[in-house]
Amino acid sequence: MSTPGANAISIVQRFEWDAMHRIPGHEGICKAYHGHRYAAEFTLTAGKLDTLGRVVDFFTVEEVLGGWIKKHFDHTAILYKNDDEPSVKPVIEANKRLGRPAYLLDGHPTVEVIAAELGKVAAELLKPHGVRVVSIRLWETPECSAVWTA
């Protein structure tokens, strides 16, 4: 029996977390603080399958990528680092004091920008494991998502 090349096979692993954000300058209600139950589906591949016929052990992805998400994104605020809303600084300070530092982005924390940030972070975290991120689908609500592609 021959084993297919890893480039022909991808795995998908899903992570979910809760976070709040606001979109400065938004024309509607999203300019106010609000929360989401985010869900991200990571499609991953490798140059070759390992000796057990896997792209990577799912537990490795859970520890490395899931651990990062839990530490940096779960139960915190994901905010634009240059947001000039006066309440942002106290939110950042409160979250830090309460053990859940806010995650600050270079751009507005839209689902698109968060997906791109996850793409950058995931690529760095998984590279030492021989894994390449093909795409990420980030769900902000059950009806709305963005897809980042490497």
Decide if 144 is catalytic. Answer: no
Dist CA 74 CA 37 (whole Å): 10
pLDDT one-digit tens code per residue, 12-66 = 999 999 999 999 999 999 999 999 999 999 999 998 999 999 999 999 999 999 9
Spans of all domains in the chain = 6-149
pLDDT one-digit tens code per residue, 66-80 = 999 999 999 999 999
CATH number at 6-149: 3.30.479.10
pLDDT of amino acid 6: 55
Task: Enumerate residues 6+ apart whose C-beta is below 8 A from 89.
Answer: none
Decide if 75 is catalytic. Answer: yes
Instruction: Say if pTM beats, i.e. exceeds, 0.85.
Output: yes
Catalytic residue among 62, 75, 112, 129: 75
| Percentage of the chain lying above the pLDDT 70 cut | 95
Closest CA to 16 of 41, 44, 38: 38
**Span 114-121, average pLDDT:** 98
